Structure 1
Amino acid sequence: MNKINKAASISILIVVIVASLIYLKSIIVPLILAAIFWLIVVEVRTMIGKVATLRNIKMPVWLQNLFATLMIFTILFLVVKLLSLSMQNLSESMTHYDGNLQKMEEKINKLFDINVTHSLNKMVGDTNFTNLLRTVLSSVTDLFGNAFTIILYIVFLLLEESGFGNKIKAMYPNINDQNNVVLMLERVGKTVSSYLTLKTFVSVITGVLSYIVLLIVGIDAPFFWAAIIFLLNYIPTIGSLIATLFPSLFIIIQTGEPSVGLIVLLAVGGIQVVIGNFVEPKLMGNSLNVSSLVVLIALAFWGTLWGVIGMILSVPITVLMIIIFGEFQSTRKIAILLSEDGNIGAPKINNQNKEE
């Protein structure tokens, strides 16, 4: 009977958690993004602190935080500014694309010597490509819609950071539990920030090389498409595929020449294959210790809940779950199931009732 009650309680808890993740998306997603930016600020702050120490400069932590935050948001501002200009240029040239669809249909009709125009009209002719592209641009713009909320969260995270140690001491009176919690938090921060740093580095290389290719072939707004490739590269498995197809399909519609799309597909796809199969594994190795099947399931689950942002956050959230669950005896089995090799180390915090 106790097992049935326990199973029912767990099922209800899972339903409540999933429902909360869906309905509180507007609160949780900006908070997670703010936590990620906070980790990046901490990494940059650490670098600034090391440089200051080498130069025998005394710099308080609040000043290091200020410099790190200003540095990061200056880079983001410049990127967003360039992206906005690219999107504006793209919007201005959208009037030419619908006519190219008809041109492309005629070429395909002539090439295969059959009447495929009617079928193509049913598939794409009745769809206003201009409106479709505007929808895509709107989706990208929405990614920056919560900027103020994220900045506000980051400010309060930085302010709360100084008093967080006292809260841990109050929550865990035992000195061993305190040390274990601190070590767990440090491990979470180090693993997630290391993943994000390496993934960002790989995505930048992919984006820059793709930008050069797109600039050479003459695609409209190459910086915009390079930024899309950079962003989608954070999505495991399918991100690189989508990032390759987007500019390839777009330049076919832009020029009405399928051959140009094939060139972009091969060039950008080749960059994705080389970096994804040789450069990225060399840099990251197996440090994440996440099962490939779990990555796919997490990608589908978080993508269903939160869309593109959920796909991007799926791997960091899964890594975080493995680390935290592995620290507690009662959730250790879940962490082993999510991991790649089952080796997650010994649990350091026993949260089971000793009287049971």
Structure 2
Amino acid sequence: MSLTLIATILTGAAILTLLVIGKSLLIPFAIAVMVWYVIEAVAAHFRRISIGGMHPFERFSLVPALVVVILLLGGVVQMIGGTVEQVSIAAPSYEDNINKILAHFSSITGMETGPSLQHWLSGLNLGKIISSIAGAIMAMAGNAGLVAIYVAFLLLEERYFSIKLRIMFPNRERRQKVEKMLQDIQIQIRQYLYVKTLVSALTGIISYAILVWVGVDYAPFWALLIFLLNFIPTIGSMIAVLLPTALSLVQFDTFTPFITLLVSLGSVQMIIGNVLEPRVMGASLNLSPLVVILALSLWGQIWGVTGMFLSVPITVISMIILGSFPATRAVAVAMSENGRLRPVS
């Protein structure tokens, strides 16, 4: 076994250990980097605004971008918190509908609900379930302060990135190589976030129309959740269909809304996820579907749900970095979808 391979294995083990041990600090930082990318993307749009041939936001684009992002995030948190409170109030009526559905099922099939199922239903406490959801939301909100600090420092440090690169890499050729790698990462992540946001927003809007048509409670909340879950590859779209359809089982006393939602929401996910998104996204990411699934499982194990959301951006960054060096280029080729990477300069 060569020394290079041993060093690579040891480095990988050390990084994995650091990711697990330091996740309480690294997860907020990773989220902050994604928020920073979003802010920069919004700021870039403001810089392109032209009024009478002038660009009023060219030098102060960060201010309106920060306002937009803060308002959006605040609206999301407020909507989730308000919906949790409303569902807590409506929990008893949902429990009654569960019993009605079971009675209806027994009358149709002639089968009595088993003792184990009745025991489970008697112990079902939607109030506790909602409380646990609220606790999870509060835990996420608890990291908001740390994420905001990281974002603030990233924005402050941004102006010095080029200066630090010149000092760190005095050799012009090496510096250009690093700058090209960082530029590729920025372009790929922005492209992914832009396309994924548009596609997820379209999915959420169409799903909202379906939910309103069927009459599902809290349609704006479920549409928002569908939008967010679409950022989780494969599994997210499945959960986005199952959650609102499961609510329809306890909201209505018939199976018709459940079947309608299952078919309609599932069709939306299938058409947009398998037809529209690949066409819009194209081969820009050049990630193997198998690698995407493996990355989803790996980062889900390491960082939980947050890791699932960040699995694709992290994998894209890893592939670009690995493909920039001859020693690790073979790994990047294996991670790619078609094996074609840009030449190493």
Correspondent of 1:14 among 3, 9, 12: 12
Q: Could you say if the C-alpha distance between residues 60 and 115 of structure 1 is closer, same or farther in structure 2, counting changes exceeding 3 Å?
A: closer
Matching of residue 325 in structure 1 with residue 295 in structure 2: no
Match of 1:139 in 2: 136
Shift, 1:80, TM fit? 2.6
- State the Cα deviation string for residues 197-238 of structure 1 (Å, max 9, x = none): 110111111111111211222222222211211111111111
User: Structure 1: 5+ residue runs without aligned partners?
Assistant: 349-356
Look up the SS of the partner of 1:289 in the other structure: coil
Residue 82 of structure 1: how far off its partner (Å): 2.8
**Aligned equivalent of 1:66, options 50, 55, 63:** 63
- CA 1:92–1:79 in structure 2 vs 1: closer, same or farther (change >3 Å)? same
Query: How do residues 106-117 of structure 1 correspond to structure 2 at under 5 angstroms?
Result: 106-117=103-114
Post-superposition shift, 1:123? 5.1
C-alpha deviations, 1:274-320, integer Å up to 9, x for none? Answer: 21122211210121100011111011111111111111111111111
Q: Structure 2 vs 1, CA of residues 263 and 185 (structure 1 numbering), >3 Å: closer, same or farther?
A: same
CA distance, structure 2, for counterparts of residue 264 and residue 59 of structure 1: 44
Q: Which of 291, 298, 310 is the matching residue for 1:294?
A: 291
Distance 1:177 1:7 in 2: 24
Which stretch of structure 1 is more off in the superposition, 318-327 or 105-114? 105-114
Give the Cα–Cα distance (whole angstroms) in 2 for the partners of residues 169 and 187 of structure 1.
18
Aligned to 2:344: 347
CA distance in 2, matches of 1:7, 1:321: 18
Residue identity opposite 1:34 in structure 2? A
Secondary structure in structure 1 of the residue aligned to 2:61: helix
Contact 2:48–2:55 (8 Å) recurs in 1: no
| Aligned equivalent of 2:205, options 205, 208, 233 | 208
For 2:17 and 2:77, locate their aligned partners in 1 and report how far apart those are by CA, in whole Å: 33
In the other structure, the counterpart of 1:43 is 41
- Letter of the 2:29 counterpart: L
Uncovered stretches (5+) of structure 2, i.e. residues with no partner: none
One-letter amino acid matched to 2:73: L
CA contact (8 A) 2:222 2:244 kept: yes
Cα deviations by residue, 1:67-109 (Å, 9 ceiling, x for unpaired): 2111221222223323322222222211222222222221222
- Select which of 110, 124, 129 maps to 1:127: 124
Percent identity of the aligned residues? 33
Q: CA RMSD in A?
A: 2.1
TM-score w.r.t. length of structure 1: 0.90
Q: 191, 196, 201: which one pairs with 1:199?
A: 196
Distance 1:141 1:218 in 2: 29
| Aligned mates of 1:267, 1:237 — CA distance in 2 | 18
TM-score of the superposed pair, with normalisation by structure 2: 0.93
Greater Cα shift, 107-116 or 78-87: 78-87
Residues 241, 266 of structure 2: 8 Å contact kept: yes
Task: Detail structure 1 runs of 4+ shifted over 6 Å in the superposition.
Answer: none
> What do the CA deviations read for 1:161-184 (whole angstroms, capped 9, x no partner)?
111111111111111111121121
Match of 1:353 in 2: none
